Structure 1
Amino acid sequence: MTTEGHIAALERRHQELDRKIQTEMQSTRFDNLTVAALKRKKLEVKDEIYRFNATTQ
């Protein structure tokens, strides 16, 4: 996979996690631990995107 392809895949994963977080938070009985775990994963993906962008410039 090319660097651009990898970045695109990471961006899709980031958006997917954001949708999951929003869906979970809209639930009437959402779980704070689940939301926190999803936010942590989303941040990890965002950090990886920044690392890849920094190495390509």
Structure 2
Amino acid sequence: MSIESHLAELKRKHLALKQEIENELRHANANDMRVVELKRRKLHIKDEITRLGSSPETLH
């Protein structure tokens, strides 16, 4: 898998997690532990996107 396609997949997952967090927070009985876990996963993906986005292979 190329770095560009990996970045695209990570961005897709990041967006999906963002939407999942928003959906969870819309409910009056939102599960706080689930929201925390989703945010942790989202941040991990964002960090990976940043790391890969600044690697020499992606800079042209």
Give unpaired runs (5+ residues) of structure 2: none
Deviation string for 1:1-38 (max 9, x for gaps)? 11100000000000000000000000121011100000
Give unpaired runs (5+ residues) of structure 1: none
More helix per residue: 1
What's the counterpart of residue 50 of structure 2? 50
What's the counterpart of residue 31 of structure 2? 31
In 1, Cα distance between equivalents of 2:27 and 2:5: 33
Secondary structure class of the residue paired with 1:15: helix
In 2, Cα distance between equivalents of 1:53 and 1:31: 33
In 2, Cα distance between equivalents of 1:52 and 1:13: 15
Q: Which runs of 4+ in 1 moved over 2 A?
A: none
Q: TM-score, normalised by structure 1?
A: 0.96
**What amino acid sits opposite 1:40 in the alignment?**
R
Does residue 10 (structure 1) correspond to residue 20 (structure 2)? The answer is no
In 2, Cα distance between equivalents of 1:39 and 1:53: 21
The CA RMSD measured in Å over matched residues stands at 0.6
Q: Percent identity?
A: 39
